[in-house]
């Protein structure tokens, strides 16, 4: 099997993995965004219900679905807890480091889980404004570090998939990659 | 956070069942008792020094090799070399042969699903010593076809390495047929088989497998202690030591032999062969019960490796649970007292799951949801039934969180 790294998950991560908050889809969501992919082994789908209050867009409710490791589930759970009640502008300032800190720290190998969670949030905020046709002046044009790294992770898996040199068809229908004899 | 604190949160599940026998196993009391005297009351000396504790130590090495010779059908105890692990034995086989042939170089042929302790030394022989390494593809269940293998073997091939039983998916290769095929093409090609997962589960007869030159064994795969492996080296096959230093009784592996562990390995071999057929029948029936139980209770599960159970190792069940990720499943199952490993990439940043599962054509998302179970004679039927229930509940809980589900 692949490289193994011991994962001393802390109490908070383990607890949120066991009892995640705000799990599930949302029928009346205003925006739904995905970060990661099944091939990456990590994927978060984020649902946001947004309302306008005194000229600001506020996150009324947030739920998530997660396909991923224990840290991924915990990161998505804490993200939804953090953003409810926040304006989109406030939510935008949340970084992957905030999520990792809120979880009481993550092993470095799992940083990408909090990156993915924040990547999904930032995508959702962007697509909400695109949907309503508004361009807030505080929303940067260039991608944030979380959005860039999420994109990178998604692209890397495509490269791995496309990387095999030759395909050999075997007598009993199976097939596998190999190096040329 | 310390492991101790983590375990406080983990709680105590009603039952604990350990299936991760691929990665490490528990050591039964008899084996521990067989080791203990050699730490301080007998045979604690250096086996190649001429004093009583040394002679006693040497006797353990000699007798264990005699036992291995017998159960393997080797010709002499001198054909066995102890190393400190199966990984080291595989390194000795691949790099030891490459070093002995470094003047002429040539080709090293390995199957695509070999253990990494074969693949990585082969790659080192390529980058460091200038050999060419080729990987033979396997079919969707991990089988190597003779007609495919023969395309890869030629006059320049110094070594072919094909596992007897695959460590992850339990595929049993026809080593007799494959080794004969290799020798028919090139009698000088050395044939190595990593039998770490076959030993104690299949009768290995080196008299009949006369074309096998090198064969790897590992103690912890048969409930012996970790830290001992062995390489069978057929008389006349030339290897060079890989590690360098003061040689003791081993001519191919320097350093002081770990006699207490070798004594434990000897006991584990005795136990495995005491009631060989009964042991194997037991792990087979427990494995069948586990697989049937899970497959009948949990939908959307792929069997990785041979569907025909007669061509699969008797202890192996490797299943991919679609729509969930394997690392999360190992944590969830641990909380329920069921200890397993996954072929998921989630413990590695490079996102590359098990090379074995990819080589049999599994997609990344299928490999990510894979769980490996190995049964043994120490499991009880209640353990299996408990595990089936725990797996069904764990998968159901994680699927409820997952955004992925059956498209139909």
ipTM of the shown complex: 0.85
Distance CA B166, CA B294 (A): 22
Confidence of residue A167 (pLDDT cuts 50, 70, 90): very low
- Calculate mean pLDDT across residues A94-102: 96
Residue B405 has pLDDT above 90, yes or no: no
DSSP state letter for A64: E
Cα distance between residue B235 and residue B237, in whole Å:
6
Among partner residues B6, B350, B404, which is closest to A8 by beta-carbon distance?
A: B6
Of A7, A175, A179, the CB nearest to B134: A179
The alpha carbons of chain B give a radius of gyration, in whole angstroms, of 22
User: Among all residues of A, which ones are annotated catalytic?
Assistant: 40, 113
A109 or B90, greater pLDDT: B90
- Would residue B346 show up in a list of annotated catalytic residues for this protein? yes
Q: Which residues of A touch B3 (CB under 8 A)?
A: 8
Angle between helices B52-72 and B259-274 (to 10 degrees): 30
Give me the count of residues in chain B. 408
Output the DSSP codes for B232-278: EE-TT-----SS-S---S-SSS-S---HHHHHHHHHHHHHHHHTHHH
Task: Work out the pLDDT band at A168, boundaries 50, 70, 90.
Answer: very low
Residue B169: name the closest of B369, B326, B22, B7 by CA.
Answer: B22
pLDDT at res. B298: 98
Sorted by where each starts, the structural domains of chain A and their CATH numbers stand as 11-178 (3.90.1010.10)
Going across the sheet that includes B316-321, the strands are B301-303, B316-321, B370-374, B341-342
Q: Would you say the C-alpha torsion B292, B296, B298, B302 has a positive or negative sign?
A: positive
A180: which chain B residues are within 8 Å (Cβ-Cβ)?
A: 134
Q: Residue A136 in 3-state DSSP? A: coil
Interchain CB contact of B327 with A (< 8 Å) = yes
- Catalytic one of B124, B243, B295, B346: B346
Q: Are B80 and B231 in contact (CB under 8 A)?
A: yes
Cβ separation B137–A65 shorter than 8 A: no
The residue-averaged pLDDT of A125-150 equals 95
**Can you give the C-alpha Rg of chain A in angstroms?**
19
What integer pLDDT is reported at residue B349 of this predicted model?
46
Q: Which A residues, 155 through 174, put their C-beta within 8 Å of a C-beta on chain B?
A: 156-157, 160-161, 168, 170-174
Q: What is the arithmetic mean of pLDDT over B264-287?
A: 97
Q: What share of chain B is helix, strand, coil (3-state, %, to 5)?
A: 40, 15, 45
CA distance A21 to chain B (A): 11
pLDDT at B43: 95
First vs last C-alpha separation in chain B: 44
Q: Rounded CA gap, A17 and A66, in Å?
A: 11
Reported as a single tens digit per residue, the pLDDT across B362-395 is 998 899 999 999 999 999 999 999 999 999 999 9
Which pLDDT score, from 0 to 100, does residue A164 have? Answer: 37
More confident position, A158 or B135? B135
Q: Is A117 on the interface with B (CB under 8 A)?
A: no
Q: Note the Cα B404 to chain centre separation in Å.
A: 33
Contacts of B368 in chain A (CB under 8 A): 38, 41
CB contact (8 A) between residue A40 and residue B148: no
Summary mean pLDDT of chain A: 86
Which residue of A34, A170, A179 is in closest CB contact with B135? Answer: A179
pLDDT recorded at residue B2? 66
Q: Does A180 touch chain B (CB under 8 A)?
A: yes
In this prediction, residue A153 carries a pLDDT of: 86
Interface test with B, best of A17, A39, A176, A177 (most B CBs within 10 A): A176
* Domain annotation for chain B: domains and CATH numbers: 3-27+275-401 (3.90.1150.10), 36-273 (3.40.640.10)
């Amino acid at each position: 099997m692949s490289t193994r790294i011991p994962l001393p998950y802390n109490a908070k991560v383990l607890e949120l993995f066991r009892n995640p908050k705000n799990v599930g889809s949302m029928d009346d969501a205003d925006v739904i965004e995905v970060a990661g992919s099944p091939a990456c082994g990590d994927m978060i789908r984020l649902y946001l219900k947004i309302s306008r209050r005194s000229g600001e867009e506020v996150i009324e409710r947030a739920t998530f679905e997660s396909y991923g490791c224990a840290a991924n589930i915990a990161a998505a759970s804490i993200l939804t807890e953090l953003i409810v009640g926040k304006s989109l502008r406030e939510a935008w300032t949340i970084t992957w480091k905030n999520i990792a800190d809120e979880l009481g720290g993550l092993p470095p190998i799992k940083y990408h889980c909090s990156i993915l969670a924040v990547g999904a949030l930032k995508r959702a905020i962007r697509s909400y404004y695109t949907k309503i046709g508004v361009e807030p002046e505080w929303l940067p044009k260039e991608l944030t570090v979380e959005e860039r790294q999420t994109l990178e992770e998604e692209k890397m898996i495509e490269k791995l998939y496309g990387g095999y040199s030759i395909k050999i068809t075997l007598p009993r229908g199976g097939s596998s990659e190999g190096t040329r004899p | 956070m310390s492991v101790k604190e983590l375990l406080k949160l983990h709680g105590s599940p009603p039952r604990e069942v350990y299936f991760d026998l691929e990665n490490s196993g528990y050591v039964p009391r008899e084996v521990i008792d067989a080791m203990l005297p050699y730490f301080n009351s007998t045979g604690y000396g250096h086996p190649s020094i001429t004093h009583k504790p040394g002679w006693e130590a040497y006797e353990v090495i000699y007798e264990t090799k005699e036992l291995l010779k017998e159960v393997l059908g080797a010709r002499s105890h001198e054909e066995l070399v102890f190393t400190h692990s199966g990984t080291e034995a595989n390194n000795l086989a691949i790099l030891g042969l490459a070093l002995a042939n470094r003047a002429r170089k040539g080709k090293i042929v390995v199957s695509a699903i070999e253990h990494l302790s074969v693949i990585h030394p082969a790659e080192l022989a390529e980058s460091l010593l200038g050999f060419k390494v080729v990987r033979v593809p396997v079919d969707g269940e991990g089988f190597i076809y003779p007609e495919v293998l023969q395309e890869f073997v030629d006059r320049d091939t110094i070594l072919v390495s094909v596992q007897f039983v695959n460590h992850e998916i339990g595929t049993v290769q026809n080593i007799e047929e494959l080794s004969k095929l290799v020798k028919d093409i090139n009698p000088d090609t050395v044939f190595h088989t990593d039998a770490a997962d076959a030993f104690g589960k299949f009768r290995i007869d080196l008299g009949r497998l006369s074309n096998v030159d090198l064969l790897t064994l590992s103690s912890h795969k048969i409930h012996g202690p970790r830290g001992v492996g062995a390489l069978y080296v057929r008389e006349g096959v030339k290897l060079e030591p890989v590690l360098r230093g003061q040689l003791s009784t081993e001519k191919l592996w320097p350093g002081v032999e770990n006699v207490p562990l070798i004594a434990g390995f000897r006991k584990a071999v005795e136990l495995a062969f005491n009631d060989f057929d009964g042991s194997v029948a037991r792990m087979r029936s427990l494995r069948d019960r586990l697989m049937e139980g899970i497959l009948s209770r949990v939908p959307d599960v792929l069997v990785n490796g041979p569907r025909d159970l007669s061509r699969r190792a008797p202890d192996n069940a490797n299943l991919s649970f679609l729509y969930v990720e394997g690392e999360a499943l190992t944590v969830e199952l641990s909380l329920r007292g069921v200890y397993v490993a996954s072929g998921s990439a989630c413990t590695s940043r490079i996102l590359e799951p098990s090379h074995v599962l990819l080589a049999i054509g599994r997609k990344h998302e299928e490999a990510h949801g894979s769980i490996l179970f190995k049964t043994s004679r120490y499991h009880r039927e209640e353990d299996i039934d408990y595990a089936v229930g725990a797996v069904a509940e764990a998968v159901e809980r994680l699927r409820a969180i997952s955004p992925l589900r059956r498209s139909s």
